Copies of this chain bind each other. A is one copy, B any other.
Amino acid sequence: MRVIGIDPGTTSTGWGIVESNGRTLRHIANGCIRTQPGETLPGRLGKIFSELLRIVAEYQPQQAAVEEIFVSQNVQSALKLGHARGVAIAAVNHQGLPIHEYTALQVKKSVVGYGRAEKKQMQEMVRILLCMDKNAPQDAADALGVAVCHLNHLPARLLHTASPSPLGKTV
């Protein structure tokens, strides 16, 4: 089973692809979709959408996982974040992938072992769990974390679903 995890944001959207055969987790690829500060909102959202289409087409994940958001910041930043998250969900939905949502607490518990883990700990644990040479950028590490969380929640029988040939590539 191959899963894409997504950590959406208007300036940087992290993504990470992880595969499981029911015993081991394998890192396939990760990256950040970065938009330019001067870019218009439609331009930024268009880039998130088209890049996610490209990534899904290239790595062919079978399911998608996105973090549920409980924003404590102001209304304007919630609105902005909502734009990016809506586009990310629409992009993977457009490719026919089932989408699962997990709270930050679920992701941290699943990856680090307890719910109050810090960003840095998440990066480290993702690197260790996925046998990566170095830490992924923060947004990409968060995305890989959501993918790992989803794979940990899936029943074992589903994990053996054939995945496309692994590429082992880091973008």
A165 within 8 A of B: no
Q: Which of B46, B74, B89 contacts A93 (CB 8 A)?
A: B46
Chain B residue numbers with a CB within 8 Å of A99 are 42
Interface residues of A (CB under 8 A from B): 41-43, 45-46, 48-50, 69, 71-76, 78-87, 89-94, 99, 101
Say how far A23's CB is from chain B's closest CB, in angstroms: 30
Which residues from chain B contact A72 at a C-beta distance below 8 Å? 75
Interface SS majority for chain A: helix
- Taken together, the copies of this chain in the complex come to 2
A91 to B50, CA, bound (A): 11
B residues in contact with A69, CB < 8 Å:
79
Chain B residues positioned under 8 Å from A79 (CB to CB): 69, 71, 78-79, 81-82, 85
CB neighbours (8 Å) of A71 from chain B are 75, 79
Q: Is the CB of B73 within 8 A of A82?
A: no
Which of B42, B49, B82, B86 meets A78, CB within 8 Å?
A: B82
Contacts of A90 on B, CB cut-off 8 Å? Answer: 42, 45-46, 48-49, 86-87, 90-91
